[in-house]
Each structure stands twice: as structure tokens, then as C-alpha cells.
Structure 1
Amino acid sequence: MDPVRYRILGTTQVLRPDGRPVPVGGARLRALLTVLALRAGRTVPVGLLVDEVWGDEPPADATGALQALVGRLRRALGADAILSAEGGYRLAAAPDDIDLNRFERLVGDGTRALADGAPAKAAGVLDDALALWHGPALADLPDHTAEAARQETRRLDALRTRHTAALALGHAEQSLPELTALCDTHPLDEPLQALRLRALRDAGRTAEALVAYEDVRRLLADRLGSDPGPE
């Protein structure tokens, strides 16, 4: 039987092999599943689980409360889904059963394909990777700011690589709307700005590219006190 799949790139979800969701009710239950899925196949210590699920407000009997929560999660997913190990618990899942792990694997594959001179392959693989995102990463963790920011940075890296592949394929015009929106959101991201300028140039919009370059030059000077890099 095919394994279930776990989504943590957005609201935490569990999907059966046929795509039907497994109901996982309750914020604490989803938080527990998120922490376990982040470390799928590894034992997560009880103390870390309590910290991640309850934050600064742990229950008086934290160990007992965690045991009860694990019991509820086992009833939802199956008794063998959460394994007890010395000092903690482990989600019985292969790395590729977790969308975050699949995303990282696919991004690596796409990046290597682009470096090997296969932009069409890179574009397809990176599209598959980016399609795994369904909202802000780790949305069900009470305090997920640092880890979520790290994953968002990884997503932005993947978007840059995807647009690099698009330009190599001659798809500059198609890339421009998203590149412009990304530059508006991340104005100090110089590699992203460089991609937008290349896309404008490749689309034959040279005058716009020159104006956009001057805008970036002034922005970097005003905000960072620096000039644009050679690229």
C-alpha cells in the first residue's frame, strides 16, 4: 500500500494515496504533527516537542499532555504512524513522504540540470517543486518565524533559478510579471533585480531596462550606500 503524504508547506495536512485528506483536528494536534514531520524518521525528544507545541505556556503535566496528544494523533493516522522511542517520538515516514523534503530534493535536481545546460528539464522540475507550496511554510507551528523564514528563503532561491531557466529558454516576456512582483517585494535582492533587468533586455525593452537599472542604482545607494555589483 502506498504511504500517506504530509504537507507542511502551508497548513498542515495529511493525504491518503488517493489524494483524500485525513482529518487532523485541533491546533495542538497539527502543531505536533508539523514538528514530527519536520524531523521525519528521527526521534524528537519530549522536551523539544513540548516547547514547539506549547511554547511559553506548557501545561502543568507536560509529559502527560503530550502522551494524550500523541494518542489522539495515532487514532487519526493509525497506531503505527507515530513510534515511541527512548526519550521521544518519531513519525514513521520516508523523507519523500514530506512535501518539504520533496521540495528540497527537486530544487537540487533542477539546479543541477540548469548547471548541466538543460534549462527545459530544470524548468519542469522546479515547477514541480514550487507547486508543492500551498501557503506560508509551517503555518500550524505556534512560533515558527525563524524556521519558516529559512524555508521562504529557499523558495525564493528556487524562484530565481526557475526564472534563470526561463530566460535561457527565451521566455523573458512571460517571466517579467512575476519577476517585477518579486522585485517589488524584495527590492534589495540584487540577483533578483539583475534577473528582471536581463528579462527586460531579452524582451527587447532596452529603454525600460536602462530606467530600471537607474532605479536600482539609486535604491542601493540610498538604502545600503553601495553601487550595484558587476552583474
Structure 2
Amino acid sequence: MIIRYRVLGPCQALRADGGEAALSGARLRALLAALAGAAGRVVRADELIELIWEGDPPGNGTEALQALVGRLRRVLGREAVDSVAGGYRLAAGAEDVDLYVFERLAAEGAEALAARETARAARLLDEALGLWRGPALADLPGRDGDPVVVRVEQRHAHARKDRLAAEVALGRAAPAVAPLEALAAERPLDETVQALRIRALRAAGRGAEALRVYDEVRTVLADRLGADPGAELRDLQAELLSGDEPPTVAVLPLRLPARPTSFVGREGELDVLVAELGKRRLVTLIGPGGVGKTRLALEAADAEAWRWPGGVGAVELGSVRAESEVPSAVLTALGGRETQSWGATPRDALTRLVEHCASRRLLLLLDNCEHVIGAAAE
């Protein structure tokens, strides 16, 4: 009986006795990787054919897939793969697949780190990172564009960063410098990684080097993005120049609206949206009223909440009548106190909103904004 699947690296199926099922053939491993990556969700037959044969299936792709599924059942046991109308499902839950166990542990570690439970965070993140044996879904052809791969590899980078942040917080900055330099080299435009690297250098007594790194980062951002460093890096430079200790940044007590029902049947869309959130600062959902844009956005925001130490907040703009009211509505939803003085302009409200959010890294969901789209975009 198969009890555990590994897809963080070469695909493996482990039996209850600790033995490993023999998965011979690249396409057999690709099929298992595709099914395990779905963690118990149904994968359509046409999608499996596209994934396994990369757009070049044999003459009858459906029959070839059926034969491949038969081979996999002979290796894993017939009960391991269910036939469902239009596709197939691996009889396994998220806790049976290392990819999803990794995501759970990484999220719990990030939450513990945000709550300043540093030692617990370190243990959880060590357990999560210990599951990583190589590229996610390594046996899946065309894996680079797969939404699950994009999502989990981004979370792997965040877990590495969080583990190093825990190391610095535990007073072990010096040994964290080298792995932080390696992570920063992989993600040169990730300002949170660069800021952590600079903090580690300072904590290790290498303040002059920390300032040099800041200058290097500023140059890279200017050359590649045409942008200046963000508020976190600028504040860190000021601390380095003054010798002050870094200020504590308050976390916004934001909460997403409760969802009264479970969320099923749209996991593919959710994976795509989560992947987009990891790549872009702004993502917009469009579609007719009633198709579920709000619910999908809330589920994605909830799934990604671990990435945003400043909080995740939702702002309902359906009742806002004029574009000039949007900044005030957002500021109020974020818990900011706006005192509107006589003669103040809408730009004043926007300026206060920017100042309120500048020191925080947060995810903001603007709902029902089509009638005030210009102000929402700004």
C-alpha cells in the first residue's frame, strides 16, 4: 500500500513498509508527478496528455493515456488512481504529498516568525526545507510554466529567507551572511532579501560592508528597474549611517471577510492567481457579475497571507460614489485615522494613505472598483 508521495525532486512513491515503488520510464513518472501535484484533485485527461507528451501525443492520445494509467495502477495498486468523468485522480490527500506538507510547514513557520516565536519558527522551517530534494515536479515535462511549480518554488525561496531571518533573530547573524548572499544573488531585485542581508551584515559587526551592499543594491534597482530603493531599504540605510537600532514596524490588524461556505472546484484558477500574485505587484480580475471574482480573490489572498507581514486587507468599494472618495475609503478600511481639514484635496488623502502604508509590506484587495477604476489604479 502506498502511503506517501514525493515530488520535491525525483518522483517517488513510498510504501507503508518504507520501500519504494519501482517507477520505470519517464512518462510513468510524469503521470504520477502530474497527479500527485494535484493532491487529490481531478486532472482532466486532455490536460494530462498535454503535460506528459508536451503537445505531441501519439496518434490516439486518449488510448495512450489509458495504457499509461494502467501501468501506474499495476505499480501502485489499482485503488491508487481513480477514474473520474473526464479525467483521473490520485487517491491521496495533501498530507500524503511532500509538496503540500512543505507548504503547510513553511506557512506555519512564517506565522511563528511573525509572532516572534523564533525558535519554533526555526524548527518548522527546518522541517519544511528538509523535504526539498530537488526541483518541484522535476519529472514533469514543461514544468517551468506550471502554476503549481511557480507557486511552490516561490514559497521555497520565502522559506529559505524566513529561516535565515530566524537565524539572525536568534543572534546567529554571522553564519547567516553567506547563505543570504547566495539567496540575494538568485533574487537581486527582491528588496526584502537584500534588506535581511544588510541587517545580517550589520548584526555581524560588518557595518561598512552593509553600506557598500546598500549602494550595490541601489545601483542594480536603478539599472534594471529605473527605480529607487523602497522605504525599508532607505530606512535601513539611514539607520546604518546614524548607528541607530532598527525601529519595530507594527503589523496592521487586518482581517479578511469570513466565507460562509467551502471553496471547491476552482483550484486550478486559484493556483494560477496565486502564481500571478507571486510575480506581479498588481493583478486584476475581470468578468461578468456573479461569476465569483470576489470569492476567488479572497481565497487567493487567504492562501498568500503568510507572505505579507504587514497584513492582508479587503476594501469594498461598491458603495463609494466618486473617485475622489477612494483614498479615504481605503485608509479607513486599513484602520488609518484620516482627519479631513477644511479645503483638503483628494490628493491629500492619497498622500496620507501612502504614508500610512509606506513602512509595511501588505496585500490589498480592492473589490467592486470598476466604477472608480481610475482612482483604484492610482
Do both share a fold (TM > 0.5)?
yes
Q: Distance in 1 between matches of 2:129 and 2:17?
A: 21
1:74 matched to 2:84? The reply is: no
User: In structure 2, the residue corresponding to 1:4 is in which secondary structure?
Assistant: strand
1:27 matched to 2:26? The reply is: yes
User: In structure 2, the residue corresponding to 1:120 is in which secondary structure?
Assistant: helix
1:3-152 to 2 correspondences below 5 Å = 4-147=3-146, 148-152=149-153
The Cα shift of 1:19 comes to 3.3
Query: Which AA in structure 2 matches 1:174?
Result: P
- 1:207: which partner in 2? 208
Q: Distance in 2 between matches of 1:19 and 1:133?
A: 19
- 2:251: which partner in 1? none
Question: Structure 2: which 5+ runs fail to align?
Answer: 233-378
The Cα shift of 1:18 comes to 4.1
What do the CA deviations read for 1:152-179 (whole angstroms, capped 9, x no partner)?
2111111111122111111111211100
Q: Distance in 1 between matches of 2:186 and 2:34?
A: 29
What do the CA deviations read for 1:31-65 (whole angstroms, capped 9, x no partner)?
11011111122221111111111121111111111
- 1:184: which partner in 2? 185
Q: Distance in 1 between matches of 2:66 and 2:18?
A: 29
User: In structure 1, the residue corresponding to 2:88 is in which secondary structure?
Assistant: strand
Aligned residues, how many?
A: 230
Q: Which moved more, 1:37-46 or 1:64-73?
A: 37-46
The Cα shift of 1:97 comes to 0.7
User: In structure 2, the residue corresponding to 1:80 is in which secondary structure?
Assistant: helix
Q: TM-score, normalised by structure 1?
A: 0.95
Query: Which AA in structure 1 matches 2:151?
Result: R
Bigger radius of gyration, 1 or 2?
Answer: 2
Does the Cα contact within 8 Å between 2:49 and 2:55 map onto a contact in 1? no
Identity of aligned residues (%): 54
User: In structure 1, the residue corresponding to 2:79 is in which secondary structure?
Assistant: coil
Query: Which AA in structure 2 matches 1:75?
Result: R
Q: TM-score, normalised by structure 2?
A: 0.59
Runs of 4+ in 1 over 6 A off after TM superposition: none
User: In structure 2, the residue corresponding to 1:15 is in which secondary structure?
Assistant: strand
- 2:312: which partner in 1? none
Q: Distance in 2 between matches of 1:44 and 1:200?
A: 47
Question: Structure 1: which 5+ runs fail to align?
Answer: none
Q: Distance in 1 between matches of 2:164 and 2:179?
A: 9
